[in-house]
Every structure is written in C-alpha cells, then in structure tokens.
Amino acid sequence: MFDVPRSMNLLQTILILAVAFLAVFGEATLGGLRQWLSAQVDLLPALMVYAALNADVVTVSLLAVFGGLWFDALSANPPGVSVLPLFAVGFVIWLQRELILRELPFAQLVLGAIASAIAPVLSVLVLLTIGQQPLLGWGSIWQWLVMTAGGAVATPVIFVLFDWCHDALGYQPRTETSFRPDREIRRDKKI
C-alpha cells in the first residue's frame, strides 16, 4: 500500500461519505429500476467494497455508521439495523485486502456481488432478531438476486468513478528525470 498524505485520506473519506449520502437519496427518490424490476438496488455494499480496499478502517467504520443511519432514516428500518451488516462486509474485506487483486474489474465485480448478497441478508436477520416483521416471501429471492446483480455491476463503476476523482483532485505523481548528479560529466579546460 503506497503512502498517501493525511489530507488526501481525509478528502477520500469525505468523498466516500458524500457519495454514500447521494446514493441513499437516489435509492429513495429514483424509482425507474424499482418499477421495472420490482426491486431496488442498494449501492452502499458496493461502495463499502471500494472503501475497504482503498481506505483505512476508520473510513470503513464511518461509512458503515453514517451510510447505515442514512439508509435507515429514509426507510422503515429501526435506526442502526443497516450499520452492523455494512460494517461486517467492509471489515472482512478490509482484513483480507492484501490478498485481493483489487485492480482487476472481475475481482471487483465478484466482491461487489458477494457484498451486495450478504448485506441485505444480514439486515433482514437483524430485523427478525429484534422482533420486526419485514415483508418476505418467494418474491424476496428475486429481489435479492436483483440486488446482488445490481451491486456487482455497480462496484467496478464506483472504482472507475473514484479513480477519476483521485486523478482530478489528488496529488499527481512526480515525474522522474534521468538526471543523476553522480553521473554528471564535468568538463574541464585542462587536459
């Protein structure tokens, strides 16, 4: 993992949280996919995959807490239901991040699919544990598949989006020159 300045880490954390905020708002207001497929895609697990592979554990925790709270505030979930599932997904990926080929779009796609499949299942388990009765049935399997596929497709897109933001807003790498002082040819008039 290359070292990045502290200000860059902060900018990345703010950017991730801002995207999470907009993603939750978009999920609540944009109903095109919901009307067409009878299911809404959740982008937070896909965003969590990016955060877990590219940011520190504090960012992963902040995304889980704030992303989960924002999601629960706009839904009928009791507050806090989505926090632990998001964090569980992000924390496991963060622990294994050195073993994951994060640059490969296929790896990102698979991780996005796994995260988007596990997070809603854990959320429903938390809901059932605290005595809530969410609307479940055979149709929920279709919704789960849509969420998994949607999250899988969204993950590489999020990586591309953040790479573009990183290039646009981050520090550019210094270009190396071929000049080396120890190899400088010193010319002298005396022979």
If binding is defined by CB under 8 A, does position 159 make contact with other proteins? no
Beta strands in the chain (DSSP E): none
Name which position in 19, 55, 81, 109 contacts other proteins (CB under 8 A). Answer: 81
Q: What is the smallest separation between the CB atom of 150 and other proteins, expressed in angstroms? A: 11
Binding residues for other proteins, total number by CB under 8 A: 56
Tokens of 145: 């598949």
Q: Whole-angstrom Cα distance, residue 17 to residue 142?
A: 29
Upper half-sphere CA count for residue 152 (Cβ side, 13 Å): 14
Contact predicate 154/106, CB 8 Å? no
Q: Is 65 in the site for other proteins (CB under 8 A)?
A: yes
177 is a site residue for other proteins (CB under 8 A): no
User: Residue 165: exposed, middle, or buried by beta-carbon count in 10 A (0-12, 13-18, 19+)?
Assistant: middle
The only residue of 10, 14, 78, 105 in contact with other proteins, by rule CB under 8 A? 78
| Alpha-carbon dihedral sign for residues 137, 149, 109, 85 | negative
**Structural contact between residues 23 and 70, judged by C-beta atoms closer than 8 angstroms:** no
- x/- mask, other proteins, residues 44-63, rule CB under 8 A, reads -------------xx-xx--
Name the one range near other proteins by CB under 8 A: 8-16, 33-41, 102-110, 158-166: 33-41
Q: Which residue ranges make up the site for other proteins (CB under 8 A)?
A: 21-22, 24-25, 27-29, 31, 34-35, 38-40, 42, 57-58, 60-61, 64-65, 69-81, 83-84, 87, 91, 94-95, 120, 123-124, 126-127, 130, 133-140, 142-143, 147
